[in-house]
């Protein structure tokens, strides 16, 4: 972390420093990494044109207008990393989270009957609220991957069917962030004490979308605004007895670039086929950390570049006598890295990713309700990449990650 020497600060600073252990790097939300909802995750993060469940809060809120019944989804997802640096394992904490989704039509009458739907989505890690690290620029770090799955995320949206096959919708995304201060003072006995004032806050970004359908064809577009969840703690010690300037321990805990996804889909005879492309404005990324003091050298500029992510997915549903359905899903997307190759002063590791996605589902009805079970997964293979180590020597990095989960839903 970008912190002054612990020997200068003294042991009584340890409680304050421990609070910083869960704060920030260059990462983005799990939805930006995988998509949201069992169906979308299994289908390469598509859904902008065809979504019809709670996953529409991220894929395209306009699709929430397709809701005809109330639906509740509960699930669990886990992520593991197999990253490497110079053919050695690069440690990265796994992620585990619960998933909650709700969608339902709003009970309007008249011309608005069955035309307005609302959705909510939650992604909640089981052991943290938000996790990240503030590391020196010359410390090797996979800035775009590990901590992305370690943040509470909330999404909400509303969709409206305006007729003639046109649907529109809007909503927001929210991520957890942290701000606070640590004040070190002397008590009456001359002992140093610390007063910690931290606040958990939320950062927001808009999501707007529209879709059009005619016969078996669907097209859609979704814009998601830039979502920046910052971490910032100011440490001051005016009575310590030695001149210590105020310390700014700050950075970006989570970052989603502004993005536009455009998609076309075809649905007939139980098949759904989707093609999409997502443009991401990574060039606006401010970097994972800030200067520690007013006179500190600024961290190196990230020099990220904008990316285009192509996606393709297919789904088939088999409906049996009595109403049970079996569903198989699969997809692929290619995500170019926004980060340049590592340099001695900027050890930001990342690589292009080939993501293979898959899933199965089973649903059946009974007692006026419908029950569904879905399993989904993704495997990302990082293309091996070369850069320069902190000494200028050549180095090689890459690896893989996986994301698996299950959900159970009831529609009533």
pLDDT score for 366: 80
Q: Is the confidence at residue 26, as pLDDT, over 90?
A: no
pLDDT score for 241: 65
Question: Could you please report the per-residue DSSP string of 358-403?
Answer: EEEEEEEEETTEEEEEEEEEEEEEEEEEEEE-TTS-EEEEEEEEEE
Both structure tokens of 38: 């069992």
Average pLDDT of the segment spanning 220-228: 96
End-to-end Cα spacing for the chain: 50
Average pLDDT of the segment spanning 236-250: 73
Task: Note the Cα 372 to chain centre separation in Å.
Answer: 25
Indicate left, alpha or beta for 158 from its phi (over 0: left) and psi (-120 to 50: alpha). beta
The share of the chain scoring above pLDDT 70, in percent, equals: 87
Average pLDDT of the segment spanning 272-290: 92
Place of tokens 């300037």: 245
Question: Cβ(52)–Cβ(61) under 8 Å?
Answer: no
Question: Cβ(274)–Cβ(261) under 8 Å?
Answer: no
pLDDT bucket at 169, cuts 50 / 70 / 90:
very high
Average pLDDT of the segment spanning 303-327: 94
Q: Is the confidence at residue 4, as pLDDT, over 50?
A: no
Nearby residues of 189 by Cβ (< 8 Å), 6 or more positions away = none
Question: Cβ(175)–Cβ(130) under 8 Å?
Answer: yes
pLDDT bucket at 188, cuts 50 / 70 / 90:
low
Lowest-pLDDT choice from 99-108, 121-130, 207-216, 238-247: 238-247
Q: Is the confidence at residue 280, as pLDDT, over 70?
A: yes
**Cα 4 to Cα 12: distance, rounded to the nearest angstrom:** 14
Question: Cβ(306)–Cβ(279) under 8 Å?
Answer: yes
Which residues share a beta bridge with 181? 197, 234
Long-range contacts of 186-189 (CB under 8 A, 24+ apart): 186/239, 186/240
Nearby residues of 11 by Cβ (< 8 Å), 6 or more positions away = none
Q: Is the confidence at residue 247, as pLDDT, over 80?
A: no
Q: Is the confidence at residue 19, as pLDDT, over 50?
A: no
Question: Cβ(90)–Cβ(103) under 8 Å?
Answer: no
pTM: 0.87
pLDDT bucket at 130, cuts 50 / 70 / 90:
low
Place of tokens 């943290």: 128
- Cβ density class 236-248: b for 16+ within 10 Å, e for less: ebeebeeebeebb
C-alpha pair distances (Å), 93 with each of 66, 90, 138, 202, 334: 38, 10, 21, 23, 24
Place of tokens 């997307």: 333
- Convert the pLDDT of each residue in 342-364 to its tens digit: 999 888 899 999 999 999 999 99
pLDDT score for 129: 66
pLDDT bucket at 116, cuts 50 / 70 / 90:
very high
- Convert the pLDDT of each residue in 66-109 to its tens digit: 999 999 999 999 999 999 999 899 988 888 999 999 999 999 99
pLDDT score for 274: 98
- Convert the pLDDT of each residue in 383-406 to its tens digit: 999 999 999 999 999 999 999 999
**Cα 309 to Cα 23: distance, rounded to the nearest angstrom:** 29
Cα dihedral: 44, 50, 56, 58 (round 10): 40
Q: What angle do CA 16, 22, 23 make, to 5 degrees?
A: 90
Question: What rounded mean pLDDT belongs to the chain?
Answer: 86
Average pLDDT of the segment spanning 232-240: 76
pLDDT bucket at 125, cuts 50 / 70 / 90:
confident
Nearby residues of 393 by Cβ (< 8 Å), 6 or more positions away = none
Which is it for the CA torsion 295, 300, 301, 307, positive or negative?
Answer: negative
**Cα 253 to Cα 131: distance, rounded to the nearest angstrom:** 7
Q: Is the confidence at residue 21, as pLDDT, over 50?
A: no
pLDDT score for 29: 75
Q: Is the confidence at residue 248, as pLDDT, over 70?
A: yes
**Cα 127 to Cα 95: distance, rounded to the nearest angstrom:** 9
pLDDT bucket at 17, cuts 50 / 70 / 90:
very low
**Cα 353 to Cα 386: distance, rounded to the nearest angstrom:** 15
């Amino acid at each position: 972390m970008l912190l002054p020497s612990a020997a200068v600060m003294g042991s009584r600073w340890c409680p304050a420093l421990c609070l910083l252990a869960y704060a920030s790097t260059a990462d983005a939300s799990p939805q930006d990494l995988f998509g949201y909802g069992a169906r979308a995750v299994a289908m390469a993060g598509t859904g902008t044109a065809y979504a019809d469940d709670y996953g529409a809060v991220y894929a395209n809120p306009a699709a929430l207008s397709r809701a005809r019944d109330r639906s509740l989804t509960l699930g669990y997802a886990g992520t593991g990393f197999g990253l490497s640096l110079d053919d050695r394992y690069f440690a990265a904490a796994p992620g585990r989270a619960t998933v909650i989704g709700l969608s339902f039509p709003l009970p309007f009458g008249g011309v608005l009957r069955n035309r307005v739907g609302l959705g909510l989505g939650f992604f909640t890690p089981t052991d943290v609220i938000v996790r990240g690290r503030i590391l020196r620029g010359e410390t090797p770090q996979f800035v775009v991957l590990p901590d992305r799955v370690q943040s509470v995320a909330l999404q909400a949206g509303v969709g409206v069917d305006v007729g003639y096959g046109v649907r529109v919708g809007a909503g927001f995304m929210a991520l957890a962030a942290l701000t606070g201060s640590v004040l070190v003072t002397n008590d009456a006995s001359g002992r140093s004490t610390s007063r910690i004032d931290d606040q958990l806050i939320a950062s927001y970004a808009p999501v707007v979308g529209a879709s059009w359908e005619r016969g078996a064809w669907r097209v859609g577009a979704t814009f998601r605004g830039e979502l920046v969840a910052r971490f910032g703690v100011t440490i001051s010690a005016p009575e310590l007895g030695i001149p210590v300037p105020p310390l700014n321990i700050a950075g970006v805990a989570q970052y989603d670039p502004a993005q536009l996804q455009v998609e076309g889909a075809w649905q007939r005879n139980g098949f759904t086929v989707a093609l999409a492309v997502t443009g991401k404005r990574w060039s606006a990324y401010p970097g994972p950390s800030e200067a520690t003091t007013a006179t500190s050298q600024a961290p190196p500029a990230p020099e990220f570049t904008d990316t285009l992510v192509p996606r393709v997915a297919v789904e088939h549903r088999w409906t049996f006598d009595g109403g049970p359905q079996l569903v198989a899903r699969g997809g692929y997307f290619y995500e170019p890295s926004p980060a340049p190759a590592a340099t001695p002063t900027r050890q930001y590791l990342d690589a292009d990713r080939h993501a293979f996605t898959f899933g199965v589902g089973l649903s059946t009805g009974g007692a006026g309700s419908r029950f569904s079970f879905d399993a989904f997964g993704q495997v990302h293979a990082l293309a091996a990449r070369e850069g320069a180590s902190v000494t200028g020597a050549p180095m090689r990095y890459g690896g893989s990650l996986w994301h698996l989960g299950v959900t159970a839903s009831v529609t009533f």
